[in-house]
Structure 1
Amino acid sequence: MEFKHIQKLIKDIHSVELHVIHTTEDLKKLLSQGKLESDNQQLITTLYEAHQNDLDPLFVETNSDCHFIMFPDSDCYYLVGPFTLEANHRSLPYLKRASLRSLAELLYYLIFEKQGAKLLFSEDLEASSPLPLTRSPLTPDTPLHQQELENLMLTAIREGQIAKVKELLLLNPINKENDSIGVLSKKSLIRHYRNISITTVTLATRAAIQGGLFPEIAYTLSDRYIQALEETQFISDISKLMTEALVELTRKVSQEKQLNFSPITNKAREYISNHLYEPITREDVADFLMISPNHLDKVFKADLDNSIARYIKHEKLNLACELIEQQHYSLSDISESLGFHSLNSFSKLFKQHYGYTPSHHLRHSAK
């Protein structure tokens, strides 16, 4: 997964920032922006220099309620924070202490694409005892080798085989849990299954992209389901959401494979999908493909019976609809980020396309 998507995922789930540090000077500059006391800056810098050979995430707790998680990669260093563990703190993102391990495990997996991270603590640098996550997230309690099953699932997603994905999902152990198990009765178990499901959706997203689904579509869909997984409080709902995510990703791959468009149209659609957060014109797409705008329009209309300008507007509005449903962004932010001239013009176009306003869709999504 691209780093910017990992940053966004960590920000959306845990409300904290993820930074990449390449040198001690980079670290000092970042710490100075956070207005840390000099002794705390020195503590983090010292740990940064001493922790280069240990890949496990390290939780750094300062004496000013300004905390970090940090760990190195082969050519850089990752820093998560600052955040606070105090619920009444107003100037920093609040993170529950119980969420530290889940954040460290998720981030470690997203960056290194493997499990097994141990969260170390700066006060003693002794290994903690996190809930073991050594099994593959797609592994059921069957004699089938776990790597073989995971490969079967990811291959089915890449190939758009919906029936096969549903068959393999029936083997998932989460589907066998009791519907009544809630966050208050077995909180650690809930967190365990959330981590498994988030990891599974991440793997499935990558497989869908490899199968031909445009990255922006795949990541938007993934973000929506991961947010829903974080908010649910029952294991049975986690199972349903993970199943829905994998089936939906596979369905979109299948739909993409059934389209028999020309190479020009496919490349144009991919370019548009990757630049939805920018102002896009048919001239931009034509320049990218090194053909004339008129020829691009002719090919595009033959394949899709639609002009490229209308297609761009359609894709931007579809993405806007997805972002509204996530309920993490204001309508003005969505309008601005997608390059609409104003919130008013965005609302008019949205109503023309869907038959109701963005505000109406937001209210309906919140129910």
Structure 2
Amino acid sequence: MKMQDLQYICKLIYESFHIPVIYINENDVVELEFTSLNIESPFHTSKQEMLKPFQFYKDHFPFPLFVTTDYYENYFMIQVMDHNQYKGTIIVGPTLPYDLTNERVNALIHDMPIRKDLSEKLVHYYELLPRLSNMKFINISMQLYYMLFQKTLDPADIILKNIELGEDLLKIEDPHVAISQKRENVSFHHDFMYEKRLFQYIKEGRKDEFLKIYKLSPEKGELGVLSKKSQLRNSKNLGITAITLATRAAMEGGLHHEIAYTLSDLYIQNLEELTDMKTVDAFMEQALSDFADRVRKHKQHRYSKPINRCLNFIYTHLYEDLTLTSLANLVDLHPNYLSSLFKKEVGISIAEYIQRTKVDEAKSLLTFTNYSLLKITTILNFHDQSYFTKVFRKYTGVTPKKYKNTLEKGQ
């Protein structure tokens, strides 16, 4: 890519979103910079010192990499490559979490071991930084990536790839690499459907889906404030509430109550021992996802290996046309034997299990999306809307339309 094209793209991102954009070349020299002169970090004495945490990773990663500093500054990086050779890195940021209100800033500063004069500079610095939801920040990274490489990205893939890199990158002293890790762990005063979906995934043992939406803050609403004086105490209080709700969801998902309560006590005790926000955030992600993982393993332990493979295949291919023959080929068993084994272990036939699972998915789509009945019928591979309605009513007692209307009245 020509430098003039790179300059145009970086300038366009800065002027469109008013977020600082810097390009450093392969020698770690700043070649392009678009930023407001008023935004100067009180934590660094020079630009070189500020950029130091971003010079640690030269291996190729073909997606935006998200970084959050110890002071809640959010950045993302995109590498510029030429014939598989590293040429430089575009750094976009800093921004702040959209829900970091002035009250929470004061509580956060209260927990920082810094001088009073630096506290005042920090308040001013935070006032100048743009505040963005995590989803918007991810969308900006996708837009920049497309402008550079003409390649589309999926936000869920970006999240999971950042998680996979997380263990190595967390060894770096300054940045805590994860997507939107600097928000409170679970929201109780904002989007009720977001919270409901989080704990529904724990109940169902769907760890990957839980992690995908856990990393994304809702666009509206604010987090509950359970301690006005200390942001660390506030995070711990919210964490304790989240663990309590996750414990209940895991028991509803089949996890034995003694195991669930023991985990709850252990996690709350460990949570109270933590001394900084970054560790609390990482701990809560691990704790809540562990509940989901344990529910999944509990469900799998009930069945033989062939049946578990079928259940996993149905779950991951639910939007496809699932048949007894395709499942039999998957586990290398005769269709009649698989059918008999499935009903013996699961208690219902394969056809009924697929229908029930698709109806459960349809309920989720009706609850959490604006999809029309026709679209849900089509993507779940029902023959037609009339047949979908018949199957849905068979297992729920109501039509999809009435189910949707009941949800809307309840909200």
After TM superposition, the score normalised by the length of structure 1 is 0.46
| Higher Cα Rg, which structure | 2
Normalised to the residue count of structure 2, the TM-score between the two structures is: 0.42
